[in-house]
Amino acid sequence: METALTALVGVRHPIVQTGMGWVAGPRLVSAAARAGALGILASATMTPEQLRAAVREVKSRTDAPFGVNLRADAGDAAERVRLIVEEGVRVASFALAPSRELIARLKDAGVVVIPSVGARRHAEKVAAWGADAVIVQGGEGGGHTGDVATTVLLPQVVDAVDIPVVAAGGFLDGRGLVAALSYGAAGIAMGTRFLLTSDSTVPDPVKARYLAAGVKDITVTTAVDGLPHRMLRTELVTALERSGRAGALLRAVRHAAAFRKLSGLSWSRMVRDGLAMKHGRDLSWSQVLLAANTPVLLKASMVEGRTDLGVMASGQVAGVIEDLPSCAELVGRVMAEAESVLARLEQLHGSGTLPPAG
């Protein structure tokens, strides 16, 4: 299936595996890339040295195109951009809108720039600055998310920009791919669905917790870092929502110390990053600290298997996922189902059941 996305990045199928912290490492990314999707490494939880090693590991496993997700507001964003240019990475994606200067630097080096956005105005801004495509995440998506459903947000963005739009938030199968294409998207991006594969390194007990969850077990809370964050409801989430300001600050300082040790960042650097997050937002200092060290909370679950102490970011689709296929099986299944749906629609159209387009 050829779309504007496959033509832009050189993959076989219009599917993106998103850059999830502690999840989208070399094993998952290379498996997704070999399956014909666009795999994206998550770099926010890596030092620059670890990122370089991860990029080289993916390249040793596959010659298919892949990308790296970057934090546009990170203090070392320019260094990481230089790294992916040096390593010949095909795609740079961003969790927040990158600056005009970062986009220009990447495009000058031949890197495809695909920011993720959650609002029409953000898509318009990065398109005007030269982004090659955008990933648009509706409120159903996991992690930091908005409150506008994909079915409402996606057509707005498709109508507003003239670059390829990739739909994210609520996708897990071929029916969703066809639905996104019908809205004018060039493909779909999936996080939770790729997390729940046999190629994902997430511990089995954590995967089991996801598989056992129903749709109503997935919540949006601001208690973790002050921003709307979709995740499984866990003991930690409940405790954070019930704790007072003093308890939240104490917990945030403890996690911040752990993140500093893990990342090698100085306290001054963490404060600068925290101030960047606080800018323009009504966040308490405990929320700023939590925002700066949310990776530690994710690591507790996604790496250490501590479902009682960690955060498990999750799209709503976790409530209807029931198995753990390999990436190859998943992508093959999605594409086969999409072709079947398209054939059925064509049959309906040919029989006159559907009116002619236009």
Six-digit token string for 354: 């559907």
- Burial class from Cβ neighbours inside 10 Å (0-12, 13-18, 19+) for residue 298 reads buried
What was the pLDDT predicted at 313?
96
Residue 271 reports pLDDT greater than 90: no
At 232, which helix (H) or strand (E)? Answer: strand 229-232
Least confident of 34-38, 252-256, 335-339: 252-256
Residue 316 has pLDDT above 90, yes or no: yes
**Of 139, 135, 142, 145, which is closest to residue 98 (Cα–Cα)?**
135
Residue 286 has pLDDT above 70, yes or no: no
Give per-residue pLDDT as tens, 174-217.
999 999 999 999 999 999 999 999 999 999 999 999 999 999 99
Inform me whether the pLDDT recorded for 318 exceeds 70. Answer: yes
User: What's the pLDDT score for residue 245?
Assistant: 61
Of residues 196 and 350, more confidently modeled: 196
Which is more confident, 295 or 121?
Answer: 121
Distance CA 268, CA 253 (A): 14
The gap between the terminal CA atoms of the chain, to the nearest Å, is 23
Q: Per-residue pLDDT averaged across 325-342, rounded?
A: 98
Per-residue confidence (pLDDT) for residue 289, from 0 to 100:
64
How far is it, in rounded angstroms, from Cα 191 to Cα 20? 7
Q: Is 108 exposed, middle or buried (0-12, 13-18, 19+ CB in 10 A)?
A: exposed
218, 189, 187, 192: which is closest to 302 by C-alpha?
A: 192
Please tell me what DSSP assigns to residue 235.
H
User: Model confidence over 15-44: pLDDT tens digits?
Assistant: 999 999 999 999 999 999 999 999 999 998
Q: Which pLDDT score, from 0 to 100, does residue 252 have?
A: 67
Buried b (16+ CB within 10 A) or exposed e, 300-327: bbbbebbbeebbbbbbbbbbebeebbeb
Q: Over 60: is that where the pLDDT of 48 sits?
A: yes
> For residues 262 and 272, what is the distance between their CA atoms, to the nearest angstrom?
17
Structure tokens at 245: 């300001």
With a cut of 70, say whether residue 171 has pLDDT above it. yes
Show the tokens assigned to 141. 């998506």
% of the chain surpassing 70 pLDDT: 85
What percent of the chain is predicted at pLDDT more than 90?
Answer: 72
pLDDT score at 294: 75
Single-letter amino acid code for the residue at 254: R
213 residue type, one letter = A
**How far, CA to CA in Å, does 234 sit from each of 6, 22, 77, 164, 217?**
38, 18, 32, 37, 9
Is the per-residue pLDDT at 262 higher than 60? no
CA distance 40 to 136: 16
Beta bridge partners of 113: 92
Q: Which domains does the chain have, with CATH numbers?
A: 4-201+325-351 (3.20.20.70), 204-316 (no CATH)
**Helix 285-302 vs helix 267-278: crossing angle, to nearest 10:** 110
Element (H, E) at 256: helix 245-263
Q: What is the pLDDT, as a whole number, of residue 356? A: 63
Query: pLDDT tens digits for 117-128?
Result: 999 999 999 999
In this structure, what token pair is assigned to residue 274? Answer: 């925290």
Three-class secondary structure of residue 49 per DSSP: helix
